[in-house]
């Protein structure tokens, strides 16, 4: 039989209200001395008392729970364990629990197929981690059911936290310009043949590169290739782009695998890295090394983004108004892949 607050009050010899205040962290009303509070906590532990969250939810209207919404398509919602730990920690500070919900996109079409997460009052708010191809029906359902929600790793005007890929593109390019490079290229191999299939970072990193080049009075040299399947073709394409007299002395690549393709292409052309070609890129891990030196990367702030989204959702649940979106800066992790041009 479950132990109640009344049982503890009877055991310690104090009122129900005093026990309730102590165990629920109250700071007003019936107060207890520190000695009495300690006796109450010891009795609760000894008797095996557990907080009745259902009863608390009925009295307060709050479940103290947040739902994390992921797509059933892993590539649209990937999060690693370290990032989830950061999310759990951020919510724990506010005494909030996290429940993870993987939603098959095809079910987000009507109330008849609506997941229990949105059909019933099971959470106080939502963290949405759809990096791209987010179902439009999801937004409609959230609005319809008046549920506070914050997006992560997407870019919109309000209620979202995302990595600042635009300024990271500017910073990575300026790094090469400051080293003395003038012929700087940008290389990107993107899955998907239409812009609607691309994550916002595909545009923003390249746009940051363009802005930095133009601000320095330099001509952008962009090679972007997008199609449904690339496979090993990336090395061949990079080789064709680099095999010319006016080839760049340095390049910015969209991500680490693209840097690997560029390095392999350069080596196949007899180039020495980084003397003949400096390379920088973006990734959420440091210390990458393929056929060349350790790569200089601008670190994608995934952990900071999910923690920031959790903090924003707490604020969003307290106020009945949208929050301004937050762009989280990247940090450079220097490697050995950049040197001044010969």
- pLDDT one-digit tens code per residue, 124-138: 888 988 876 667 777
Rounded Cα gap, residues 222 and 252, in angstroms: 10
Take residue 19 and report the two structure tokens written for it: 């026990």
Q: Is the pLDDT of residue 102 over 80?
A: no
pTM of the model: 0.78
| Whether the Cβ atoms of residue 181 and residue 278 lie closer than 8 Å to each other | yes
The torsion angle over the Cα atoms of residues 204, 210, 212 and 218, rounded to 10 degrees, is: 170
Rounded Cα gap, residues 48 and 69, in angstroms: 34
Q: Which region among 184-188, 199-203, 217-221 has the lowest average model confidence (pLDDT)? A: 199-203
Domains 65-163+304-329 and 165-300 equal at CATH topology level:
yes
Rounded Cα gap, residues 81 and 78, in angstroms: 10
Range 165-300 has CATH code 3.90.1310.10: no
Rg of the chain over CA atoms, in angstroms? 26
Average the pLDDT over 33-40 and give the result: 86
Q: pLDDT at position 116, please?
A: 62
- The DSSP output letter for 65 is E
Domain extents in the chain:
5-51, 65-163+304-329, 165-300
Mean pLDDT of the chain: 83
5-51 CATH fold: 434 Repressor (Amino-terminal Domain) (1.10.260)
Average the pLDDT over 196-212 and give the result: 90
Q: pLDDT at position 54, please?
A: 47
Q: By CB neighbour count within 10 A (0-12 exposed, 13-18 middle, 19+ buried), where does 194 fall?
A: exposed
Q: Is the pLDDT of residue 59 over 70?
A: no
Q: Which CATH number, 3.40.50.720, 3.40.50.300, 2.40.50.140, 3.40.50.2300, labels domain 65-163+304-329? A: 3.40.50.2300
**pLDDT classification of 78: cutoffs 50, 70, 90:** low
CA dist 168 to 49, 51, 278, 293, 324, Å?
Answer: 51, 46, 17, 21, 20
Q: pLDDT at position 32, please?
A: 66
Rounded Cα gap, residues 79 and 86, in angstroms: 11
The residue count for the chain: 342
Q: Which residues pair with 252 in a beta bridge?
A: 186, 280
Rounded Cα gap, residues 339 and 30, in angstroms: 69
Maximum Cα interatomic distance, the chain, rounded to a whole number of Å: 90
Q: Which region among 102-116, 209-223, 275-289 has the lowest average model confidence (pLDDT)? A: 102-116
Of residues 13, 17, 38, 35, the one with CA closest to residue 26: 17
């Amino acid at each position: 039989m479950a132990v109640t607050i009344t049982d503890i009050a009877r055991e310690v010899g104090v009122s129900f209200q005093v026990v309730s205040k102590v165990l629920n962290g109250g700071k007003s009303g019936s107060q207890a001395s520190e000695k009495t509070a300690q006796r109450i906590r010891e009795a609760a532990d000894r008797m095996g008392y557990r907080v009745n969250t259902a009863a608390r939810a009925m009295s307060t209207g709050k479940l103290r729970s947040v739902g994390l919404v992921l797509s059933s398509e892993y590539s649209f919602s990937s999060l690693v364990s370290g990032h989830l730990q950061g999310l759990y920690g951020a919510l724990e500070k506010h005494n909030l629990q996290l429940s993870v919900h993987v939603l098959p996109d095809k079910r987000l079409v009507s109330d008849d197929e609506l997941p229990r997460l949105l059909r019933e009052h099971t959470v106080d708010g939502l963290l949405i981690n759809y990096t791209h191809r987010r179902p439009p029906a999801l937004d409609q359902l959230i609005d319809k059911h008046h549920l506070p929600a914050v997006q992560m790793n997407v870019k919109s005007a309000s209620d979202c936290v995302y990595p600042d890929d635009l300024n990271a593109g500017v910073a990575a390019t300026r790094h090469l310009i400051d080293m003395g490079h003038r012929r700087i290229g940008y290389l990107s191999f993107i899955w998907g043949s239409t812009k609607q299939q691309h994550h916002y970072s595909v545009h923003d990193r390249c746009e940051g590169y363009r802005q930095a080049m133009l601000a320095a009075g330099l001509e952008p040299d962009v090679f972007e290739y997008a199609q449904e399947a690339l496979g090993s073709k990336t090395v061949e394409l990079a080789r064709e782009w680099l095999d010319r007299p006016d080839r760049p002395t340095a390049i910015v690549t969209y991500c680490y695998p693209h840097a690997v393709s560029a390095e392999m292409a350069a080596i196949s052309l007899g180039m020495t890295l980084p003397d003949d070609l400096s390379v920088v890129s973006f990734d959420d891990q440091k210390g990458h090394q393929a056929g060349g030196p350790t790569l200089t990367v601008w670190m994608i702030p995934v952990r900071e983004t999910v923690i920031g989204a959790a903090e924003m959702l707490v604020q969003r649940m307290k106020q009945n108004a949208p929050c301004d979106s937050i762009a989280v800066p990247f940090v450079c992790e220097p490697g050995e892949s950049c040197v001044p041009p010969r």
